[in-house]
Amino acid sequence: MEKAKIMDEKAIQRAVTRISHEIIEKNKGIDDICIVGIKSKGIPLAKMIAEKIGQIEDVDLPCGFIDITAYRDDVTRDRHDIKDEGFDLDVHDKTVVLVDDVLFTGRTIRAALDYIIDNGRPKLIQLAVLIDRGHRELPIRADYVGKNVPTSRLEKVQVNFKEFDQENSVIICE
Ligand code: 5GP
Ligand code: MG
């Protein structure tokens, strides 16, 4: 299997820093912003962004996590049978910045939007991803993108975060 590293630790840090500044700039500050990471690898990225915005603005930004497995349209269980794992952020009237590692067909984000809206009525929802690999099947786009990586459907983007893996890196495998 051929592998190419397309982002290393430094590149990921730079992308996180840029995205954090973009979030602050686009929202004209960070009032009412909460960061929500999508399980699993949206979580370390959400933490990195929340921490960076916290450093820049000298605040403690609310940061939550969701597991939307049950909300995907390719999961056949009735989502109302699924126990809520305890999403404890109050998103009512907030600007929610959803965070995931890779954006592909858009189905995960569609499910995440359903989940969030079932748990309150945010003022605004935005999306940040580390990698946009294309191949959308729904009219969904990211507001903040670490790197656009045109891929074939067969390619796989491996995203490593220190929390789970040995290093922070992004690798394309064919
Ligand atoms: P989608 O729902 O947009 O088709 O796929 C996005 C979700 O699947 C994300 O949560 C992401 O973690 C995962 N995913 C899809 N394609 C890839 C990929 O090439 N690499 C990685 N690491 N995750 C992917
Ligand atoms: Mg995922």
Tell me the best of 74, 75, 98, 102 to mutate to test the pocket of ligand 1, counting ligand atoms within 8 Å of each CB and taking the most. 102
Exposed, middle or buried, 174 (CB in 10 Å: 0-12/13-18/19+)? exposed
Q: How far apart are the CA of 64 and the centre of ligand 2, in A? A: 15
Q: Please determine, for residue 1, whether its predicted confidence score (pLDDT) is greater than 80.
A: no
- Ligand 1 within 6 A of CB of 159: yes
pLDDT recorded at residue 85: 58
Q: Which amino acid is at 86?
A: G
Please give the ipTM for the structure prediction. Answer: 0.99
Q: How far apart are the CA of 69 and the centre of ligand 2, in A? A: 9
Q: Which amino acid is at 121?
A: R
Of the bound ligands, which one is closest to the alpha carbon of residue 138? 1
pLDDT recorded at residue 166: 94
Q: Please determine, for residue 132, whether its predicted confidence score (pLDDT) is greater than 60.
A: yes
pLDDT recorded at residue 76: 61
What is the edge-to-edge ordering of all strands in the sheet holding 95-103?
63-66, 33-38, 95-103, 124-132, 144-148
The CA-CA-CA angle for residues 149, 154, 156, to 5°, reads 55
pTM reported for the whole predicted model: 0.94
